[in-house]
Amino acid sequence: MNDQKGINTFQISISSDENVIIARQKIRALAQEMGFSMLEQTRLITAVSELARNIVVHAGEGRVSVYREEERKGLRVVFEDNGPGIPDIKKAMEEGYSTAGSLGLGLKGSKRLVDVFDVKSEPGKGTRVEIVKWL
Amino acid sequence: MFEVSILKMGSNIIVPIQVELHDRAAQKVQDDILSKVEEEGSSGLIIDISAVSIVDSFLGRLLSDTSRMARLLGAETVLVGMKKEVAITLIQLGMVFRNLHTAMNIEDGLELVEKLKTESVQTEANMPETGMIE
């Protein structure tokens, strides 16, 4: 994983459906300001929506941190929670796999919408998903 | 909690979704739509999402389910106004829509809904398969 973290622009606590919408709106505003096309904004924000919802559904609470990458222009978004974690990431990345009665598109589907996608999880400790969209 | 306006036009109802819906709000809208279909005995339902900039897997499934639920109440549904960015993203996300009718705008949607009503009467002898899905 790239250790270059860019400039930490803002962080949003996620514990409800409303917070997911706030995260979407704030990240969209930044993506728009940075000059992402309408399609790229839509793909990024849809991934943000899926991943932020995962926090609410699986962990109850967590946070979303947003970094503006300057060297190579882009947006990095990190989703972290201290929830139950993912016992088998490989399985969780399979299409149609779902533990919460959702469609199971969340992780695998989101991966297709961004340029960098990294999941780390420890059962019982939490999950960290990092995505990057280059400009 | 906000309200989504639901407009009645003859035997159809039209629902323009004008705000970004979080999950619980989307479920409430689904409930409101079905209540209205039931109350009015509507035979057609147009859901306009031209003002919706993000449809993720949750909202996508909810819209598709709403259409199937409305059909059980006796109403045909047409989803209108999907932005091209939303269409591209939904397919890349992996969403599969079964039996969801769409049109470019409300006008085309109303035309299609009338056609669907006629068709559904014609194919009534040909009962749709029942049973559990998935």
Contact residues, chain A, for B93 at CB < 8 Å = 46, 50, 105, 109-110, 112-113
| β partners of residue B8 | B13
- Looking at residue B113, its amino acid is V
Cross-chain Cβ contact B94/A110 below 8 Å: no
Residue A119 has a CB neighbour count (10 Å cut-off) of 18
What pTM did the predictor assign? 0.90
Q: Which CATH class is domain B7-122?
A: alpha beta
d(CA A95, CA A92): 8
A132 band by pLDDT with thresholds 50, 70 and 90: very high
pLDDT of A32 over the 90 cut: yes
pLDDT, residue B3, reads 72
**pLDDT tens digits, B22-65:** 999 999 999 999 999 999 999 999 999 999 999 999 999 999 99
- Residue B128 is given by DSSP the state P
Is pLDDT larger for residue B67 or for residue B96? Answer: B67
Extract the tokens encoding A60.
């109850």
Q: What is the structure's pLDDT at B98?
A: 83
Domains assigned to chain A: 7-134 (3.30.565.10)
Residue type, B10: G
Q: What is the pLDDT of residue A106?
A: 79
**A85-105: pLDDT as tens digits:** 888 888 878 765 565 545 556
Which residues does chain B have within 8 Å of residue A39's beta carbon, measured at their own beta carbons? 84-85, 88-89
Q: What is the ipTM of this complex?
A: 0.88
Residue from the list A18, A24, A112 with its beta carbon closest to the beta carbon of B54: A24
The radius of gyration computed from the CA coordinates of chain B, to the nearest angstrom, equals 14
State the pLDDT at residue B123.
Answer: 63
DSSP tally for chain A: helices H, then strands E: 4, 5
Chain-chain contact of A45 with B54 (C-beta, under 8 angstroms):
yes
pLDDT at A13: 97
Say which of A28, A43, A102 has its CB closest to residue B57: A102
The residue ranking higher by pLDDT, B1 or B8, is: B8
Domain ranges of chain B: 7-122
- Give φ, ψ of B87 to 5 degrees: -65, -45
Contact A126, A83 (CB under 8 A): yes
pLDDT in tens, B87-130: 999 999 999 888 899 999 999 999 999 999 998 776 655 555 55
* DSSP collapsed to 3 states, B8-31: EECCEEEEECCCCCCHHHHHHHHH
Rounded CA separation B21/B2 (Å): 10
So what's the pLDDT on residue A98?
60
Predicted local distance difference test score (pLDDT) of residue A4? 57
Say what the pLDDT of residue A107 is.
87
Average pLDDT, chain A: 89
The β-bridge partners of A81 are A62, A127
Is the pLDDT score of A2 beyond 60? no
Q: How confident is the model at residue B134 (pLDDT cuts 50, 70, 90)?
A: very low
Pairing of β B101-103 and β B44-48: unpaired
Find the mean pLDDT for residues A38-65: 96
pLDDT in tens, A117-127: 999 999 899 99
